[in-house]
């Protein structure tokens, strides 16, 4: 009997799953035929389609339920789009994912029959298809309630400046490795420097974190909490960035998930190494201790997101003053043939290049993929492998200059290596990496390496306010410290090294 019951329950779930299945496409249309396209799609889907104008090169996101038997509607497909005269290009809304995992210190400590417990407490598989879990109200760590969707921005003001050594900086082996301290001192001696904005495009950032709060980008043109888009950039009350997953102004990390889900807050971890406030007597320091962090959330708590939300995030960064975007995500592990056709993402990176916003990309973690090896020149990982010059793609190394076993590399397509194994950083809930708590141990990933390069670029730009992205990239590449093992694996043949840059 129990088996029958289980079978019945499974059957119900299967029916529900197919009933709620959605198609999700990105479609570029002739601008003067947009209305006609809307009408045709609504007619084909019996008005069930959801169409969102991405406000970029006439790209539209088209979502619709799959047609059921005997339905008057039809299921949308690439074929159906390609037969429409309004359509210039149609593609899937490809899924993208974060490139970091908890440093593996031991196997599951439970007996085999309890392995599933490790599934709960260990690192997530990062593949939830970019869906938001919709549960915005759960506390994130028991100390502080996560911000509620719909609240006025619950973002504290920047605290007044404090001074003093960062007590936890000693845990950041990577900062020592790249020579961050001396470089930061040289830059400080030059004077105030230019304020550089780095957009961390990720799972969001804990914007209440004590060591990130002083360095959050603030949208000066926006009056918070008045329900008005004061700066008319298309986003209401966007004070520190935007959440493209939930479509609101609270790009908080781990909005609906506990930190015990095995995720320290991927974006919060990345942000710490870019620009945790340096020399403020608190926590750690990013490579760029005074750069400003713009928070753009397009990956959900499990690390999955879609191309549509990614391109909206990049566009926001470019249009709202970011000098650099830090991108610890990509197409890793998806069908290697498909992402090449991700024209929408390529178009957006071209836009970033046209506007001169440096695009730092994690090279990807090959071992998580499906049949990938780690050579990006052979099996590209996108966007790191696109050939736009504006991209700096970054491999991950450990404290002994060894490439992380997971790290992708590529003589033609991966530019430089940076610390990305056992990386210490800020975590959600106003905390820091903590080896004793599952999910909060140090993290591995090209995700962790890329923020070091983003920070280095920001530091360089602050000291060289007139340098364009080409000069910044050249400065970083020229200063790379050669490591013989990388000679045939990386464009620069070396690792990030700030010594020669200032
Ligand atoms: Ca606004
Ligand atoms: Ca406002
Ligand atoms: Ca600090």
Instruction: Give start and end residues of each alpha helix (H) in 45-107.
Output: 78-82
Q: Is the pLDDT of residue 237 over 60?
A: yes
Q: Does domain 98-106+112-501 have CATH number 3.40.50.200?
A: yes
Residue 237 near residue 140, CB atoms below 8 Å = no
Given 328, 385, 407, 447, which residue is catalytic? 447
Among 277, 294, 297, 299, smallest CA distance to 286 is for 277
What is the model's pLDDT at position 153? 53
**Range scoring the smallest mean pLDDT among 142-146, 354-358, 478-482:** 142-146
| DSSP one-letter code for 423 | B
Average pLDDT over residues 244-252: 94
Distance CA 238, CA 329 (A): 23
Which of 266, 269, 323, 452 does the annotation list as catalytic? 266
CA angle (273, 354, 239) in 5-degree steps: 50
19-93 maps to CATH 3.30.70: yes
Look at residue 247 in the predicted model and tell me its pLDDT: 94
Q: Which band of pLDDT confidence, cut at 50, 70 and 90, is reported for residue 7?
A: very low
| Spacing, Cα 296 to ligand 2 middle (Å) | 18
Pairing of strands 59-65, 101-102: unpaired
Residue 258: which pLDDT band, with cuts at 50, 70 and 90? low
**What's the mean pLDDT in 5-15?**
43
Catalytic residue among 128, 140, 202, 415: 202
pLDDT, greater one: 191 or 86: 86
Q: Which residue has the tokens 């889900």?
A: 261
Residue 496 CA, ligand 2 centroid: distance in Å: 40
- The residues that bridge with 432 in the sheet, in sequence order, are 426
Q: Phi and psi dihedrals of 237, rounded to 5? A: 55, 40
8 A C-beta contact, residue 415 and residue 477: yes
In this model, does residue 367 exceed pLDDT 60?
no
Q: Is 447 a catalytic residue?
A: yes
Q: Name the nearest CA neighbour of 406 among 370, 432, 369, 431.
A: 369
* Ligand in nearest proximity to the CA of 319: 1
pLDDT of 6 reads 44
Provide the pLDDT for residue 463.
Answer: 97
Interval between CA 297 and ligand 2 midpoint (Å): 19
Predicted confidence (pLDDT) per residue in 105-141, tens digit: 544 444 444 444 443 332 222 333 333 333 333 333 4
Chain segment 342-356, per-residue pLDDT in tens: 999 999 999 999 999
Q: Which ligand is nearest to the CA of 228?
A: 2
The pair of three-digit structure tokens given for residue 377, joined into one six-digit string: 């020149």
Domain borders along the chain are 19-93, 98-106+112-501
- In this predicted structure, the answer to whether residue 89 has a pLDDT above a threshold of 50 is yes
Residue range 324-337, pLDDT digits in tens: 999 999 985 545 55
Q: How confident is the model at residue 436 (pLDDT cuts 50, 70, 90)?
A: confident
Q: What gap in Å lies between CA 452 and CA 198, rounded to an integer?
A: 12
Least confident range of 94-103, 145-154, 210-219: 145-154
> What's the 53 CA to ligand 1 centre distance in angstroms?
18
Ligand 1 centre from 317 Cα, in Å? Answer: 13
* Residue 466 φ then ψ, to 5°: -95, 0
pLDDT band at 255 (very low <50, low <70, confident <90, very high): confident
Q: What is the pLDDT of residues 176-219, one digit of tens each?
A: 999 999 999 999 999 888 999 999 999 999 999 999 999 999 99
Helices 469-479 and 446-463: angle between axes, nearest 10 degrees = 120
Residue 115 a catalytic site member: no
Closest ligand relative to 316 C-alpha: 1
- For residue 90, give the 3-state DSSP assignment: strand
Q: Tell me how far CA of residue 307 lies from CA of 24, 94, 158, 323, 407, in angstroms.
A: 10, 5, 32, 21, 23
β-pairing, 197-202 with 95-98? unpaired
Give the per-residue pLDDT at 332: 54
More confident residue, 341 or 50: 50
Q: Stretch 86-98: mean pLDDT, rounded?
A: 93
Mean pLDDT of the chain: 85
Q: With cut-offs at 50, 70 and 90, classify the pLDDT of residue 440.
A: confident
Q: How much is the pLDDT for 122?
A: 28
Alpha carbon of 100 to ligand 3 centroid (Å) = 23
What is the pLDDT at residue 68? 84
- Calculate ∠ Cα 395-398-404, nearest 5°: 50
Which ligand is located closest to the Cα atom of residue 238? 1
Q: Identify the DSSP state of 145.
A: P
Please indicate whether residue 47 is annotated as part of the active site: no
Lowest mean pLDDT among 117-121, 225-229, 250-254, 381-385: 117-121
- Closest ligand to 162 CA? 3
At 260, the pLDDT band (50, 70, 90 cuts) reads low
Q: How far is the CA of 356 from the centre of ligand 1 (A)?
A: 22
- Rounded to an integer, the average pLDDT of 445-460 is 97
Percent of the chain with pLDDT over 90: 67
Looking at per-residue pLDDT, the higher value among 430 and 122 belongs to: 430
Q: How far is residue 348's CA from residue 342's CA, in Å, rounded to a whole number? A: 10
Residue 342: DSSP 8-state:
-
Proximal ligand: closest to the CA of 226: 2
Distance separating alpha carbons of residues 15 and 329, to the nearest angstrom: 33
- Ligand 1 centre and the CA of 152: distance in Å? 14
330 forms bridges with which residues in the sheet? 97
The Å distance, Cα 277 to ligand 2 centre, comes to: 27
Helix 266-275 to helix 446-463 angle, to the nearest 10 degrees?
A: 30
* 208 CA to centre of ligand 3 in angstroms: 14
Indicate the pLDDT class of residue 72, thresholds 50, 70 and 90.
confident
Distance 501 CA to ligand 2 centre (A): 40
Predicted local confidence at residue 140, as pLDDT: 39
Return the half-sphere exposure (C-beta side, CA atoms, 13 A cut-off) of residue 143. Answer: 8
């Amino acid at each position: 009997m129990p088996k029958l019951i289980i079978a019945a329950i499974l059957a119900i779930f299967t029916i529900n799953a197919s009933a709620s299945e959605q198609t999700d496409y990105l479609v570029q249309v002739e601008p003067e035929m947009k209305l006609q396209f809307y009408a045709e799609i609504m007619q084909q889907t019996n008005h069930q389609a959801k169409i969102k104008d991405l406000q970029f090169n006439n790209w539209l996101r088209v979502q619709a339920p799959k047609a059921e038997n005997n339905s008057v509607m039809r299921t949308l497909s690439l074929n159906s789009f390609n037969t429409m005269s309004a359509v210039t290009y149609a593609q899937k809304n490809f899924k993208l994912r974060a490139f970091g995992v908890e440093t593996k210190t031991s196997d599951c400590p439970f007996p085999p029959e309890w392995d599933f417990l490790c599934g709960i407490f260990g690192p997530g598989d990062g593949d939830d298809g970019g869906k938001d879990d919709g549960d915005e109200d759960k506390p994130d760590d028991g100390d502080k309630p996560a911000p509620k969707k719909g609240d006025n921005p619950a973002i504290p003001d920047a605290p007044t400046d404090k001074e003093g050594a960062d007590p936890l900086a000693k845990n950041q082996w990577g900062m020592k490795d790249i020579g961050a301290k001396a470089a930061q001192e040289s830059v400080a001696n030059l004077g105030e420097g230019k304020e550089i904005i780095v957009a961390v495009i990720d799972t969001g950032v804990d914007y209440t974190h004590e060591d990130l709060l002083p360095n959050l980008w603030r949208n000066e043109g926006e009056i918070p909490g008045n329900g008005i888009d004061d700066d008319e950039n298309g986003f209401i009350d966007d004070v520190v960035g935007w959440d493209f997953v939930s479509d609101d102004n609270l790009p908080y990390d781990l909005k609906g998930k506990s930190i015990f889900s095995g995720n320290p807050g991927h974006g919060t971890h990345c942000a710490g190494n870019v620009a945790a406030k340096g020399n403020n007597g608190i926590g750690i320091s990013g490579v760029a201790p005074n750069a400003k962090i713009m928070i753009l959330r397009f990956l959900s708590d499990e690390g999955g997101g879609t191309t549509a939300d990614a391109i909206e995030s990049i566009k926001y960064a470019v249009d709202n003053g970011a000098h650099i975007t830090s991108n610890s995500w990509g197409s890793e592990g998806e069908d290697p043939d498909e992402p090449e056709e991700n024209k929408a993402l390529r178009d957006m990176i071209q836009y970033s290049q046209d506007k001169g916003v440096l695009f730092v990309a994690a090279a990807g973690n090959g071992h998580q993929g499906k049949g990938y090896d780690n050579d990006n020149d052979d099996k590209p990982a996108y966007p790191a492998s696109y050939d736009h010059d504006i991209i700096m793609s970054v491999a991950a190394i450990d404290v002994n200059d060894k490439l992380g076993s997971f790290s992708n590399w590529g003589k033609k397509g991966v530019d430089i290596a940076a610390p990305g194994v056992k990386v210490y950083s800020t975590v959600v809930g106003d905390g820091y990496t903590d080896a004793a708590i599952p999910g909060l141990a140090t993290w591995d990933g090209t995700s962790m390496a890329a923020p070091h390069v983003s920070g280095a670029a920001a530091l360089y730009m602050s000291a060289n306010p007139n340098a364009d992205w080409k000069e910044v990239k050249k400065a970083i590449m020229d200063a790379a410290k050669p490591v013989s093992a990388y000679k045939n694996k990386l464009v620069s043949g070396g690792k990030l090294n700030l010594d020669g840059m200032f």
